[in-house]
C-alpha cells in the first residue's frame, strides 16, 4: 500500500470511530426515558381553610388582606377572585376531619393571579410542634385549582424535615362556597438529610 492509501485508511478509521461514538451517545440519550426517582419519605396531610367573611371571626383561619379596587375584605372578588391576597394560619390534620387533633399549622398566603381562570399562587409552611413531627416544611408554586391534582415544590424544611426537598401533590378534598375548603397534600420527599 502506498502512503496516500494508508493516510486515507487511517482517516476513514478515525472518522468511523468518531461517528460510532457520537451516534451511540445520541442513541443512549435520545432513546432513554427519564430516570424514575423513588421518594425517601412520604407524608399525607389535610389543610383546612376557613375564610373570614365578616361573620365567622371565631372560626376563621384565613383573611383577605388585599383586594382589587372597589372590592372589600370580606367577600372574594368576582372574576375568579383575581387580585385577592389571602393570609392563612390553618389547622393541619392527618385525616380529612376538621375536628381531628391538629398535628401542625399551615401558615402563609395565596394570591389569585389569573383573571381568565381560577388559579392561585401559594407560598406557605407547614409548622409542626407535636408528638408526630417537629420543624417546618416550606412549599411554593402555582395552584391551577380546577385541575384534579396539582404539584407544587417542597423547597426546604427544618427539624425533622431539615433540608428536605420534593413535590407536594394538592387535591381539593372539599369545598363549601367561598368560606371553606380542604386540601389533601401528598408530599413526596426526594432529598432527605
Nearest CA-CA partner of 104 in 128, 123, 85: 128
CA distance 119 to 128: 27
CA distance 71 to 140: 27
C-alpha cell at 47: 389543610
CA distance 71 to 189: 40
**Same domain for 45 and 15?**
no
C-alpha cell at 5: 492509501
Q: What is the CATH number of the domain that holds 117?
A: 2.40.480.10
**Same domain for 28 and 62?**
no
So what's the pLDDT on residue 132?
84
Q: Could you give phi then psi for residue 150, rounded to 5 degrees?
A: -140, 145
**Same domain for 185 and 143?**
yes
* Mean pLDDT taken over the chain: 86
Residue 89: domain span: 41-191
**Same domain for 164 and 95?**
yes
**Same domain for 25 and 49?**
no
pLDDT digits (tens, 9 = 90+) for 161-185: 999 999 999 999 999 988 999 999 9
- b/e burial code for range 16-34 (CB count within 10 A of at least 16 → b): eeeeeeeeeeeeeeeeeee
pTM of the model: 0.78
Query: For the chain, what is the domain count?
Result: 2
**Same domain for 150 and 84?**
yes
**Same domain for 57 and 93?**
yes
**Same domain for 27 and 58?**
no
**Same domain for 31 and 54?**
no
CA distance 94 to 153: 20
Amino acid at each position: 500500500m502506498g502512503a496516500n492509501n494508508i493516510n486515507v485508511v487511517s482517516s476513514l478509521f478515525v472518522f468511523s470511530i468518531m461517528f460510532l461514538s457520537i451516534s451511540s451517545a445520541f442513541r443512549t440519550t435520545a432513546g432513554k426515558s427519564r430516570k424514575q426517582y423513588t421518594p425517601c419519605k412520604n407524608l399525607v396531610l389535610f389543610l383546612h381553610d376557613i375564610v373570614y367573611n365578616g361573620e365567622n371571626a371565631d372560626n376563621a383561619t384565613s383573611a383577605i388582606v388585599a383586594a382589587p379596587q372597589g372590592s372589600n375584605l370580606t367577600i372574594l372578588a368576582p372574576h375568579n377572585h383575581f387580585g385577592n391576597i389571602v393570609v392563612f394560619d390553618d389547622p393541619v390534620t392527618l385525616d380529612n376531619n376538621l375536628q381531628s387533633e391538629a398535628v401542625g399549622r399551615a401558615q402563609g398566603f395565596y394570591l389569585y393571579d389569573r383573571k381568565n381562570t381560577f388559579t392561585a399562587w401559594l407560598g406557605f409552611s407547614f409548622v409542626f410542634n407535636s408528638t408526630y413531627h417537629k420543624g417546618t416544611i416550606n412549599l411554593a408554586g402555582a395552584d391551577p385549582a380546577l385541575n384534579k391534582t396539582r404539584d407544587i415544590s417542597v423547597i426546604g424544611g427544618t427539624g425533622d424535615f431539615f433540608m428536605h426537598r420534593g413535590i407536594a401533590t394538592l387535591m381539593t378534598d372539599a369545598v363549601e362556597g367561598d368560606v371553606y375548603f380542604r386540601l389533601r397534600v401528598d408530599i413526596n420527599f426526594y432529598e432527605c438529610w
